[in-house]
Amino acid sequence: MADDLSLTVLASGNVGKLKELQLALSGTGLELHPQSKYRVPEAEEDGLSFVENALKKARNAAAHTGLPALADDSGLVVPALGGAPGIHSARYAEGGDSANNEKLLQAMRHCHGEERRAWFVCVLVLVRAATDPCPLIAEGYWHGRIAETPSGDGGFGYDPLFAIDGTSRTAATLSAAEKQRLSHRGQAVDELRQRLGY
C-alpha cells in the first residue's frame, strides 16, 4: 500500500505538526510534503467537528495537487469552558500559540481541581484522491489538566499548559519520543499505521 502513498501531501502549514507526523510515520514509506510546497490554499474549516474539518482539509489538498493527502485536525477540549477551545484551538485568540495560551489561562483563572481537566483530540484523515469514497479516519485522545502556569519549552500549541494525567509534567517537557508515544497524535498515528498494515 505504501507505493501509491509514497508521496503524500500534508494538508497543513504547521511546521511542528509536519515534523511530528513525519517522525511518527517513519518506516511506512509515506513521505509527507507540506501543502505550502504546492501553493495549496487553506481549506475553509467550517465543519462542526474535528472529523468534518480534517476531511475538508484532506480533500482540498488532494484536489489542488492530484496527490494523496493526509490531514490532521486536532485541538484541546476543556469541559469547564463548554468544550472550548475545541475545533477553534489554533485560532482561539487569533494571535498564535502565546496568545492562545494566555487566553486559556485567563478563561480558567477561577477553575480549580477537577474543573481544570482537559483532553487533546486528534483526527487524522487520509484520502487517496479528492473524491475518495473511503477515507481512512483515525482518532486519538490524551487526557490531562490545564496547569496554572506554563512549563517546558518543547512542543508547540498548548503543550506548556497541558499537564499529563498522573504526573506533574506538561507536554512541553517531554522528549519527541515520549510525546509520540503518549500523545493524541501518536495514538491516532498508531491507529492509522494499523489501518495501513504497518
Active-site annotation, residues = 73
Q: In what order do the strands lie in the sheet with 31-34?
A: 31-34, 7-10, 69-77, 117-127, 136-146, 162-164
In this structure, is the dihedral angle defined by the CA atoms of residues 10, 11, 13 and 16, taken in order, positive or negative?
negative
Q: How far apart are CA 95 and CA 113, in angstroms?
A: 28
Sequence letter at residue 109? R
| Region label for 197, one of left (φ > 0), alpha (ψ between -120 and 50) or beta (otherwise) | left
